[in-house]
Structure 1
Amino acid sequence: MAAGLTSDQVRAALQAAEAEAASPADRAEMLMEIAMGLQTRPKSADEINSAIELYDKALTICPQEMRLLRARILARKATALQAMPEQGTKSLENARGLFEDVIPVLGEIGAPEEVAEAEMNLGLCLQSLVGAGRAKIPDAIAAYQRALRTFTRSAHPKEFVILQNNLATAFLSMPMTDERGKMREALAVQAFEEALKVVTIVDDPIEYAMLQNNLGNALQYVSSSHVLENNLRAIEAYDEALKVRTRETMPIEYANTISNKANCLWNLPGHVATSETGRGMNLSMALVYYREAREIFAAHGDVGRAQIVGEALMQIERELMELSAVLDRPSVLHS
């Protein structure tokens, strides 16, 4: 039914585009707007394909001298190609080429926001292509940073948050084998913190929780001489995320966050507590979280993560038994 409706919409749009009453530029713009509507929250690849078809028709109608309109149509077509589900990277690489072609034109005769949006989408394309070895992550980072010249926190908070989250993810995906790696980790933490200056638990609780969880992960793994401070800050971030991610309302997200918190407790430096007893308390808390996370993952059919958590559980149980022997007291394990 949905696919049929899309076909009818496309046919109607193409028929309207042939009408002589409107100018070619007006008809091209109309097709672009209809394509953008199809592309918004698509229910299937058919809708994205239909949008691309309309963008192509718009380009055939649009006069060559209408450089700005053509650049806008091409930029929108690129976003449709980005959204195309496929095996391989052909659509992403086509999108990348379109963005690289239109950005100079938009920079010359378009609005700064149009350039920044294209740069942000180019960065996403590049970041997606990195895993296939078809792009380099520094190029994605550079595109995001160019977009931030326009999408500032005060002027465009929504885009600013998206860019900071993308930047942080990009920084963390780079190898951390040298001193520059430590700087990139610190920059990732800073990016999450910048985003959290905009996103609040009241206005956007879901995104707030995601950012806090990601900040906790970044803090937990950052290479720093302040290991204790970073881990304690990570636990605070996870606790903030858990104000939103509850077992009742978001079970998988809740399980992810308590797993992350458990790992943080497990890896707290020994000097957090003044004795083995303090270490045992941290391990016991981690054990409780891991058990609950494994139960949730298993209940939702996520066998892979349930197995990973189960392996961590076994290691913690061994460590607790060793501590119990050292302290010469009964095991703190509770079945």
Structure 2
Amino acid sequence: MQTLSQSQLQAALGAAEDAAASPQERAEMLMEIAMGLQRRPESAQQITDAIHLYQRALELAPVAAVLLRARIGARLGTALQALPDCGDGRGVDNLERALASLQAALPALETQGTPEEAAEVELNQGLVQQALAASGRARIQDAINTYLRALRVFTREAYPQEFAILHNNLAIAYLSIPATDERSRLREALAVQSFEEVLKVINLIDHPSEYAMVNNNLGNALQVASSSHVVENHLRALAAYDEALRVRNPRDTPLEYANTISNKANVLRCLVPDAARDVSQADLRDPLADALALVREAHQLFTRHGDAHKAQLMSQATAEIEAELAQRRQLAN
């Protein structure tokens, strides 16, 4: 079951009151209905209805049914996590309720459930902690630790999809920590490594949009990574952006394409002509001139598609590159 009308919702709740079934059976039935409703919701109301069903299931589930209550609580946490943020302040509250529900469910799933059930809760718990960290309501390090625990179960060989999700979010979490201590270089290296791990389980043919996104993010991570091999990192970043551009194009994904070419332009501005010769499939005799062409194209796309802020950034970059090229011409003369 994927959707429920209000009448169907009331019928489901009514069926759960059937005295012929035990409280545990009724709770299990409500959980199953809620899971079906949550699987492919067509509106926020359907998520809200699923939450209502999970809550009623918890009311019915006997206290002694520890594992069932943990499973219901875990699903309730994911439903609260899925509620959209309407900008009214309740989004953070819903995430905190989701975190509490997931944390409460985890001990019973660890002792009585399967390793996969516990790891799935840890994956979702990490996602919630990461989202809350953005508003200062959780520690990003807690999210990282939770992801690492989940990776003990969700290995690349056995669970490639979950493995990819965990490593992608690990990389983003590492990069979100300000570089204010001596461990920042390690975190940057770990972020690059995690993006590379994701690329071991996704590919251009089966996961084109994800492939492009991760390569774009890998390029960004390589740009900021502190290393004694700066030129090598920049060349690797260019290769990653070129992989992303095998998917992203100005016709089908104009804003994503503009983001990637602006990122690529930023790397080209840092390259000296000698380094550019090592870049495959590109004629970069003057990286700065190529950067100028890319930021001009990105400016046009951001302008055309209504991203005024990024269009302004591209205008500034254009002026800076034109000034540097003019200075070069003066020195050459």
With the shorter chain as reference, the TM-score category is over 0.9
Match of 1:28 in 2: 27
**Does the aligned pair in 1 maintain the 2:261–2:294 contact within 8 Å?**
yes
Match of 2:245 in 1: 242
* Greater Cα shift, 240-249 or 82-91: 82-91
Q: Structure 2: how far apart are the matches of 1:85 and 1:286? A: 38
CA-to-aligned-CA distance 1:86-125 (integer Å, 9 cap, x gap): 3331111111111111111110101001110111111111
**Residue 102, structure 1, aligned to residue 102, structure 2:** no
Match of 2:60 in 1: 61
Equivalent pairs counted in the alignment come to: 323
* Greater Cα shift, 87-96 or 48-57: 87-96
TM-score by length of 2: 0.92
Match of 1:233 in 2: 236
> Counterpart of 2:128 in 1: which secondary structure?
helix
Match of 1:155 in 2: 158
Consecutive unaligned residues in structure 1, runs of 5 or more: 329-335
**Does the aligned pair in 2 maintain the 1:227–1:269 contact within 8 Å?**
no
CA-to-aligned-CA distance 1:171-218 (integer Å, 9 cap, x gap): 000111332000000000000001111111112111111111111110
**Residue 317, structure 1, aligned to residue 316, structure 2:** no
Q: Structure 1: how far apart are the matches of 2:270 and 2:276? A: 12
**Does the aligned pair in 1 maintain the 2:122–2:146 contact within 8 Å?**
yes
Q: Structure 1: how far apart are the matches of 2:332 and 2:40? A: 59
**Does the aligned pair in 2 maintain the 1:106–1:114 contact within 8 Å?**
yes
Match of 1:139 in 2: 142
Match of 2:294 in 1: 289
Alignment of 1:114-125 (within 5 A): 114-125=117-128
Label 1:318 to 1:6 Cα distance change in 2 as closer, same or farther (>3 A).
Answer: farther
* Identical pairs, percent: 55
Match of 2:132 in 1: 129
Q: Structure 1: how far apart are the matches of 2:315 and 2:306? A: 14
Runs of 4+ in 1 over 4 A off after TM superposition: none
* Greater Cα shift, 88-97 or 113-122: 88-97
Q: Structure 2: how far apart are the matches of 1:300 and 1:69? A: 49
Match of 2:308 in 1: 303
Alpha-carbon shift at residue 17 of structure 1 (Å): 1.1
Match of 1:184 in 2: 187
* Greater Cα shift, 122-131 or 144-153: 122-131
TM-score by length of 1: 0.92
Q: Structure 2: how far apart are the matches of 1:39 and 1:192? A: 30
Alpha-carbon shift at residue 310 of structure 1 (Å): 1.5
RMSD of the TM alignment (CA)? 1.9
* Greater Cα shift, 22-31 or 52-61: 22-31
Match of 1:18 in 2: 17
**Residue 113, structure 1, aligned to residue 112, structure 2:** no
